[in-house]
Structure 1
Amino acid sequence: MNPNVRAQNLIGLMEELVDLLERENALLERPRARELGPVVEEKQALFKLYEEQIHAIAEEGSAFGAALEPDLRERLRATGERFDDLARINERKLKVMTASSQHIVDRIADA
């Protein structure tokens, strides 16, 4: 696949993941968010596609980056930074939620 087309696809996928992570992060702020299940399922599906894209790009090696148009390279970089920032926030929120849930389970078990 043409590197510019592959980059466009990856940018689109990362933009979907950014939107999804923003929704999930907002849901994680609310206790017992019932809408979380479908968001998690969608996230898993999108991350699978993302991993496939990254794997295909890695197989191309440095040829991928070298063949990109400069403006596309910049969009890819900026989208990647936004995606990474939101993924880190999401990871922290999930850890807090998991720790809180474990604390509740421990208190129930100790009662």
Structure 2
Amino acid sequence: MNITHTKTVTVPVSDQDKAKAFYVSALGFEVLVDQQTGPVRWLQVAPRGAQTSFTLATADQGFTPGSAAGLILETTDLDADCAALREAGAAVEGPTDLPWGRQATLTDPDGNAFVLAAPSRS
């Protein structure tokens, strides 16, 4: 196998404009692609410089909004990011100290669930 990384993760959303605002304003992601091709809008966002991006897809594209869970985002400053996310109106729980490190959980406006994790200190 020659797989090197995950390129794109589909995040099901109910409203692409609302989702775009959250991912860009609250999470600080960049818009990589935002184009309409026929009836389908391809909206792709990612943290600056990331190898993996998110495609924000709607129900008319075959996805159920709010059904993504367990996606882990790593941060270099968990406390500052949690504070900034709360200030932006995001639902954040934590941070919490766990045997394997520190993390917080958050949801986007559609209920897609993410873990925000500090790098392991091991």
Q: Please indicate, yes or no, whether the TM-score normalized by the shorter chain is above 0.5.
A: no
More strand by share: 2
Q: Which has the larger radius of gyration?
A: 1
Give the number of the structure whose residues are more often helix, by fraction.
Answer: 1
User: TM-score interval w.r.t. the shorter chain?
Assistant: under 0.3
Q: TM-score, normalised by structure 2?
A: 0.23
Normalising by structure 1, what TM-score?
0.25
